[in-house]
Structure 1
Amino acid sequence: MEKHILCNGDSKTHGRCTNLSEEIVTATEADLPRILEIYDIAKAYMRANGNPNQWNGAYPDPETLRTDIEKQRLYVYKKAGSIHGVFMLLLEEEPTYAYIEDGSWREETPYGTIHRLAGDGEVRGLFAKCVAFCESKVKYLRADTHFDNHTMQHLLEKNGFERRGIIYLKNGDPRIAYQK
């Protein structure tokens, strides 16, 4: 299992972490019940905040998450041993990014794609922590989000991502594309 210890601001002393209560690790099958709970919390938040059409039904579904766990590309954020966040980091080309409309990608060099990032609302700065982890893996990052997901748009832009255009999911649904 891959493990990444997080140090924030003054939690570093002489180059070492003094607060080891935060970490990002690859998800395991045992994490799946909590991961599904976090996605349910995120879905409820989206519905309550003007985003009723994203992540409908069972998506993200257990089968997709199990595939990501097997491929070791699903990660969980833990604080004091409890899971508070989840995301997928794809370190290969994202097929739906091959065509971009009303814009272009800034870099075509190898990139990582952040998908399905969600938290339980208990940890401030979760998005930035996950982005920092991803940046430790790959220089260029991409992401996309639903037009109604104003919270994610704000977080992406606040964390240095730029709108690059519109991409389309496999089912034809449009998404706002971002790159950092």
Structure 2
Amino acid sequence: MEFITARYEHVDRMCEITGMAKRQLKDLGLDQWQKGYPSRDVWLDDIRIGCTFLAVEGEEILGIFAFQKDPDPSYAVIDGSWLTDGPYASMHRVCVSDECKGKGVAGKMFAHGFRLAREAGLSSVRIDTHPGNIPMQRALEKAGFVKCGSIVLAEGCEAGDDRIAFERMI
């Protein structure tokens, strides 16, 4: 498996994989990603700024994640405490195609995010997920993330929604 920066020609497959993740979350009875996020426009904006990475084997896209080095407004206030004061990276919109679930793709994407953060001289990686998204919470803990508390999303169509916040020191 290798990692490439997403390009415009990848957006259709990225939207397919996002659709798979949205269906899985809905089947779990969760409202996460059910309000139009992430959308094609979000992916196009990510591609424009170059912050989205694809896990690929050959020509096949197995998974997607956004990697951001700017402070996340949603992480400014936490009910709990972060492991570090920063600087940190954040990973968002992590999803894996249905065909690749359970094959370690998410763990490899997290490891790549950790490498990117280390190369950028950042002290940690932060991420959040829905309180009911137990599969993602397990994947985060398996990757070495530590549950730090809860946050409220500050932006977008999910603004005001509660999330569990995690951090992993680099």
Does residue 113 (structure 1) correspond to residue 90 (structure 2)? The answer is: yes
Indicate whether 1:26 and 2:26 are aligned: no
Give the distance between the partners of 2:131 and 2:110, measured in 1 at CA. 21
Do structure 1's residue 146 and structure 2's residue 130 form an aligned pair?
Answer: yes
Residues 34-86 of structure 1 deviation map (CA, whole Å, 9 limit, x = unaligned): 000001111112222x2431111432111111111111001111112211111
Could you tell me the TM-score, scaled by structure 2's length?
0.88
Residue 59 (str. 1) matches residue 37 (str. 2)? yes
Task: Report which of the two has the higher share of helix.
Answer: 2
What are the ranges of 5 or more consecutive residues in structure 2 without an aligned counterpart?
Answer: 119-123
The answer to whether residue 114 in structure 2 is matched with residue 126 in structure 1 is no
Larger RCO, structure (CA 8 Å, separation 6 or more): 2
Aligned length: 157
Segments of 4+ in structure 1 off by > 4 A?
A: none
Residue among 6, 12, 18 paired with 1:39: 18
- Counterpart CA distance in 1 for 2:161 and 2:60 is 34
Q: Give the SS at the match of 1:46.
A: helix
- Percent of aligned pairs with the same residue? 33
1:85 aligns with 63
Question: TM-score by structure 1 length?
Answer: 0.83
